Amino acid sequence: MTEDHPFNLDLIDRQIAFIESILFVSKEPIEPEKILNYLNCKNIGDFEKLISRMEAAYLDNGRGILLKRSGGGLQLVTKPEIHEHLKDFFTIKTSSKLTIPSLETLSIVAYRQPVTIAEISDLRSVNSIGPVKSLLQKKLIRISGRKKVPGLPLLYSTTQEFLLYFGLNDLSELPSLEELTEMFEEKEQPSLFKRNNQE
Question: Is 102 in contact with 120 (CB distance < 8 Å)?
Answer: no
Q: Establish whether the linkage from the previous residue to 114 is cis, with ω within 30° of 0.
A: yes
Q: Which CATH number fits domain 94-191: 3.10.105.10, 3.40.50.300, 1.10.10.10, 3.90.1570.10?
A: 1.10.10.10
State the pLDDT at residue 197: 38
State the pLDDT at residue 196: 40
Looking at CATH, the fold of the domain delimited by 12-88 is given as Arc Repressor Mutant, subunit A (1.10.10)
Going from N- to C-terminal start, the domains of the chain cover: 12-88, 94-191
Q: Do domains 12-88 and 94-191 have the same CATH topology?
A: yes
Q: What is the pLDDT along the chain (199 residues), one digit of tens a residue?
A: 445 557 778 888 899 899 999 999 888 889 999 998 898 888 888 888 889 999 888 887 678 888 988 778 899 888 888 888 877 776 544 446 788 898 889 989 999 999 999 999 999 999 999 999 999 998 899 999 999 999 999 999 999 888 877 778 788 888 776 666 565 555 444 443 333 434 3
Tell me the CA end-to-end span of the chain in Å, nearest whole number: 37
Full-model pTM? 0.51
